[in-house]
Structure 1
Amino acid sequence: MLKVMLVDDEPFTLQGLQVIIDWESGGFEIATTCSNGKEALKYLSENQVDLIISDIRMPEMNGLELLETIKREKISDAAFVLLTGYDDFAYTQRAIRNGCLDYILKPVIEEELISVLKKVTNLNRESIILRKDREKMEDAYLARIIRHFIKGKYNDEDIEYANKHLQLSGNLRFVDIEFVNRDIEIDDSDVDEYDMAIMQRQLYNACKEILKEFANHFTLDITYDDDSYNVGFIFCDTMAVSSDMSETEFLNALIRKIEVLVIKPVRMLCGEPVPDISELSKSFDSCRRLKSIAGFHNKKKLYFYEEIQSGHGSFILCKDTIDEIIGAIEKNEAVMIEAGIDKLLEELQNKEGNNRAFDLNINYLLFQLIHLASELDDTVNQEEIIQYISEKTSDKAFRRGSHQHLKKFCLEYAVYLSELRKSISRGILSVVEAEIKKNYADNISLKDLGDKYHINSSYLGQVFRKNYGMSFKNYLTNYRIKEAAKQILHTDKKINRIAEDVGYKDSDYFIRKFIEIMGCTPSKYRKTNRGE
């Protein structure tokens, strides 16, 4: 309901206005009545209304003075309508120049009042659309600024914008918030990108609802790989201090509140603390490294990067055995890999503090695998290898900690390294390009393409990123949006229909992606480029 204020010094006029029409059926409610401009200003100082209908001639403060005061002091954004007589035309002209929406002649006729209310309704509807578009643009722009910091490619304007729109004080961390065991609970073959995006949006909205005062600190699409549907969070230690909590207490409390709203378990991975926003990329990179090995640790809800960096006391590293496993992986010798894993696990079972000893040795193995891939192909970026390891440690069975799945990981990694040595990238990419052009509106994924063309999907993703400078998911999204832009310009289809045509079931999600890539809403893109 739109709230209405009636202002007139004649009680009979106020009574008549309240009964002349059915306000509620038109979507309005009378919030208050006032007898002069001063009473109206007092009410507006503490309350908001959407429409003010005021007489011109009143004692103490007339309607024109009321309008001018509201506009000058920016007291309210409500639409303003004057009640006037034929001899008030000069006042009416002055009011229109000061932003008065319309005027109604006395005595008020029902049809004229309804006509003005329809105008207010349409104006309010347009205002809501514009506000939502503006909010989406602001969210998309802030997300872009945050990505600049994460990549370490920012400028002074980015710093100024971030300091204005984020509450940055004390040390910062990049925190990854994600669903726990997503792939255990959900069969990905039955869930498309839209469904995962809906889950991600629910997680995002829950975070913003819980920490309203820090809502801008949460962002979408800061992902490590094509299958990530996480939420990024810029945490400042002053958040915990202001709540009279430790950092761990604050984040654990946030996890519990999120889980209540999304009705699913979540976890947080916290990158190393940095002194200011300019070093956010360090925290983000450490969060990636933490994610890549979290699957090898005891399962919990909250991880800190410092935990994997801290010393492990007197625990012994089974270096010789791990080096044997590394050698077998390099040669892709499956039997030797399995034997090496069995030997490592047997050695670890005989050590005190078995869990921490396991963590130490697995960390060493993982970092050696990263180094091995870089040695085999000096064009390979270590961060891309970390991305691969992150994908594999997110595997649903691997998360359960079975030793068989440690074997499975090492065997698959050996195959992965073997494929790194092959020079097949250009041929397979041309096939993938053709698939995208033909089936871009369908739910296609790297896994599907890998299975179809008998190639490791993680390797395919790395080749794709190396050749196009972006992930497969981002390439597909860009292609879909560019195809949508063509339809927006050359057809009169509705935006939601175009969204469906290019593979998006949710028009809001489509609009957000369109803004990120094209820099404006689809409606504005159509108007601007058509000259409408």
Structure 2
Amino acid sequence: MLKVLLVDDEPFILRGMKELIDWEEEGFKIVGSAPDGEEALHFLQDHDADLVLADIKMPVIDGLELLRALRESEKFQDVYFIILSGYADFQYAQEAIKYACTDYILKPVEKEKLIQALRKVRGMKDIELEKDRETKKLENAYLAGKLISIIQGRFDPLTFEYVRQHMYLSERVRYVEILVDGDDYEDECEDTVKRANQKQLYKACVDYLQDDSAHCVMDVSIQEKVYDVGFVLCGYMYESTDIKDYLGDFMKYLREILGLPVIMLVGKEVKNLEEIAKSYSTTRMLRSFQGFREKKAIYYYEEEMQIHTSGIMLCKKSLDILLNAIEQNNHTEIMKAVDSFYEEMKQRGIAGDVMRLNINYLLFQLLHLASELDDSVNQEEILRMISEGTFEKGILRGSKAHLCRVACEYGDYLAQMRKDSSRGILGKIEKEIRERYAENLTLKELGEKYYLNGAYLGQLFRKKFGQSFKDYLNNYRIEQACQLLLRTDKKIYQIAEMVGYHDLDYFVNRFISAKGCTPAKFRKQAKTRAERKE
């Protein structure tokens, strides 16, 4: 509702104005009245008003003087003003226009003319609000871009100063990665679904954080194809409680609102925002090791990732033997080395957090080996997917059986990279899609067929084609459906089946997403265009 102040020295006119129309129906609310311009100025010092309707002739301060006073005051320059006048003299109207009077209505005031003037004000206010929203949107986007550059460690003093001026910051800072990560989410969900979920997640984060919403940004890890929401957590946010209670409440809200398997990866605490890139790097590493951890809603770097490479707590000799066996891709030696590693930990009484430290050392070394062979793909994400892909029900995460499977598959993966046979395989897979698009094709199946790790294959495919395997396959199916719609009279459900969709609703939704209309409308429009040409 826009707030209205009525100003007139005749009480019966004020009463008549209040009763002349249904103000609320027009989107206005009368918040006060005054007998002259002086009283009106006093009222506006303590109350807000969007619109002033004032008589032109009043004692003390008349309508034109009131209008001039408002326009000369920085505080009231944006207040809309309508003059009510019993004078049709052009000089009065000219003076009113000079001071940006919104409208000039002659008395006696007619209902329709007043409604017309109010709707004009309403329209102007809507335009003003839309401009403010667009300006705010651009400002937020600019601030988010600056913040992301700081998170990624790419900033200059001016960038940091801008962010510092536009955000409330404090000591004790962490980067928190928030994302959706359910079972088979990476392999089974298309990029469009992931993107939609990411936007919903971002909105929920912003709604929860309210005044601190600028601390939340999207697409920090976009180059890694991670559909994340980044959150810069400052110490002041949880100074009255514990960090785990604060993030626990935040997580509970997100999961209840979205109904999605949201997780948080909480990076290492750093001193201030200037060091946030260090915290960001720890969340990336935490994400890659996540597949070798027990499923949790929130992972803390300090609990999951600490490594001590000195002292008697690290089984370095056993781990180096295991690493050598993995590098040589000798499955027999890998299993022997895993047995020796676990036997040594048992003899030394190593368990719990200390066991995790040893596993972390191994995983860090595996990442190093892979990155030396190919640092152009996201090796951390491949390690996570191998860890997840080798895990089965009945096997404990991080157990000897799980580690054995991860080590053997990682040995295969390193061997595949050394052969550098992926280029020809991508061409074969593209051919497979063209010939078998109607079948239930998966990266896992194709990886097994061509002896290439599915996670690595997915990364290579995205790198070459700029989209996930799933999206590429769906887009190809939709293009084939278009051809069938144009060249045959087959029913929609038949075409859906022919191109690989066994759920008609899903097919229609995918078609609308790709082509902007339903299959039936697409066929009808094409037929109409063809008839016009004839």
- TM-score tier, shorter chain, comes to 0.7 to 0.9
What fraction of aligned residue pairs are identical, expressed as a percent?
37
Residues 265 and 195 from structure 1, CA distance in 2 versus in 1: closer, same or farther, beyond 3 angstroms? closer
Deviation of the 1:217 alpha carbon: 0.8
Structure 1 partner of 2:205:
207
Q: Is the 8 A contact 2:390 2:406 kept in 1?
A: no
Q: Is the 8 A contact 1:225 1:391 kept in 2?
A: no
Say if 2:195 is the partner of 1:183.
Answer: no
Structure 1 partner of 2:33:
33
Deviation of the 1:359 alpha carbon: 0.5
Structure 1 counterpart of 2:7, which letter? Answer: V
Structure 2 partner of 1:281:
277
Structure 2 counterpart of 1:124, which letter? Answer: K
Deviation of the 1:76 alpha carbon: 6.6
Structure 2 partner of 1:271:
267
Three-state SS of the structure 2 residue aligned to 1:74 is helix
> How do 1:443-458 residues align onto structure 2 when only pairs under 5 Å count?
456=453, 458=455
Structure 1 counterpart of 2:330, which letter? Answer: E
Q: CA RMSD in A?
A: 4.3
Residues 86 and 305 from structure 1, CA distance in 2 versus in 1: closer, same or farther, beyond 3 angstroms? same
Q: Is the 8 A contact 1:70 1:76 kept in 2?
A: yes
Q: Is the 8 A contact 2:390 2:402 kept in 1?
A: no
How many residues of Structure 1 are paired with residues of Structure 2 in the alignment? 468
Deviation of the 1:80 alpha carbon: 2.2
Residues 341 and 132 from structure 1, CA distance in 2 versus in 1: closer, same or farther, beyond 3 angstroms? farther
Structure 1 counterpart of 2:147, which letter? Answer: I
Say if 2:128 is the partner of 1:110.
Answer: no
Structure 1 partner of 2:355:
358
Structure 2 partner of 1:101:
102
Say if 2:13 is the partner of 1:13.
Answer: yes
Say if 2:369 is the partner of 1:369.
Answer: no
Say if 2:69 is the partner of 1:75.
Answer: no
Q: Is the 8 A contact 2:224 2:378 kept in 1?
A: no
Aligned with 1:384 (options 368, 378, 392): 378
Structure 2 counterpart of 1:201, which letter? Answer: K
Q: Deviations over 1:190-209 (max 9, x none)?
A: 75444433433343333333
Three-state SS of the structure 2 residue aligned to 1:22 is coil
**C-alpha distance in 1 between matches for 2:15 and 2:199:** 48
Deviation of the 1:395 alpha carbon: 6.2
Q: Deviations over 1:284-307 (max 9, x none)?
A: 112212332244345555444344
Deviation of the 1:74 alpha carbon: 2.1
Residues 83 and 355 from structure 1, CA distance in 2 versus in 1: closer, same or farther, beyond 3 angstroms? same
Deviation of the 1:274 alpha carbon: 3.2
TM-score by length of 2: 0.72
Q: Is the 8 A contact 2:144 2:214 kept in 1?
A: no
Q: Deviations over 1:249-306 (max 9, x none)?
A: 5444444454554455654333233344333222211221233224434555544434
Q: Is the 8 A contact 1:8 1:55 kept in 2?
A: yes
Structure 2 counterpart of 1:81, which letter? Answer: I
Q: Deviations over 1:353-373 (max 9, x none)?
A: 522233012101101102222
**C-alpha distance in 1 between matches for 2:122 and 2:430:** 48
Structure 2 counterpart of 1:34, which letter? Answer: A
Three-state SS of the structure 1 residue aligned to 2:323 is helix
> How do 1:201-240 residues align onto structure 2 when only pairs under 5 Å count?
201-223=199-221, 228-240=226-238
Three-state SS of the structure 2 residue aligned to 1:82 is strand
Q: Is the 8 A contact 1:226 1:472 kept in 2?
A: no
Q: Is the 8 A contact 1:446 1:472 kept in 2?
A: no
Q: Is the 8 A contact 1:292 1:393 kept in 2?
A: no
Three-state SS of the structure 1 residue aligned to 2:6 is strand
Deviation of the 1:156 alpha carbon: 3.3
**C-alpha distance in 2 between matches for 1:210 and 1:326:** 45
Deviation of the 1:327 alpha carbon: 2.6
> How do 1:450-529 residues align onto structure 2 when only pairs under 5 Å count?
456=453, 458-460=455-457, 462-463=459-460, 472=467
Please say which structure displays the higher CA radius of gyration.
2
Deviation of the 1:66 alpha carbon: 3.2
Q: Is the 8 A contact 1:272 1:306 kept in 2?
A: yes
**C-alpha distance in 2 between matches for 1:3 and 1:395:** 61
Three-state SS of the structure 2 residue aligned to 1:33 is strand
**C-alpha distance in 2 between matches for 1:164 and 1:500:** 44
Three-state SS of the structure 1 residue aligned to 2:292 is coil
**C-alpha distance in 1 between matches for 2:191 and 2:424:** 27
Structure 2 partner of 1:4:
4
Structure 2 counterpart of 1:142, which letter? Answer: L
Structure 1 residues without counterparts, runs of 5 or longer: 437-443, 481-498, 506-532
Deviation of the 1:116 alpha carbon: 1.7
Instruction: Please say which of residues 453-462 and 157-166 is displaced more in the overlay.
Output: 453-462
**C-alpha distance in 2 between matches for 1:453 and 1:125:** 60
Say if 2:404 is the partner of 1:410.
Answer: no
Structure 2 partner of 1:92:
93
Deviation of the 1:57 alpha carbon: 2.4
Residues 449 and 98 from structure 1, CA distance in 2 versus in 1: closer, same or farther, beyond 3 angstroms? farther
Residues 61 and 413 from structure 1, CA distance in 2 versus in 1: closer, same or farther, beyond 3 angstroms? farther
Q: Deviations over 1:91-136 (max 9, x none)?
A: 4323323332222222212222222223223223323332332232
Structure 1 partner of 2:63:
63
Structure 1 partner of 2:525:
none
Structure 1 counterpart of 2:215, which letter? Answer: H
**C-alpha distance in 1 between matches for 2:34 and 2:445:** 67
**C-alpha distance in 1 between matches for 2:38 and 2:432:** 69
Instruction: Please say which of residues 138-147 and 19-28 is displaced more in the overlay.
Output: 19-28
**C-alpha distance in 2 between matches for 1:276 and 1:108:** 62
Three-state SS of the structure 2 residue aligned to 1:421 is helix
Three-state SS of the structure 1 residue aligned to 2:65 is helix
Q: Deviations over 1:212-263 (max 9, x none)?
A: 222111111122775633321112223333xx33544544444445455445
Residues 269 and 237 from structure 1, CA distance in 2 versus in 1: closer, same or farther, beyond 3 angstroms? same
**C-alpha distance in 2 between matches for 1:227 and 1:190:** 15
Residues 318 and 3 from structure 1, CA distance in 2 versus in 1: closer, same or farther, beyond 3 angstroms? same
Residues 183 and 114 from structure 1, CA distance in 2 versus in 1: closer, same or farther, beyond 3 angstroms? same
TM-score by length of 1: 0.73
**C-alpha distance in 2 between matches for 1:343 and 1:401:** 19
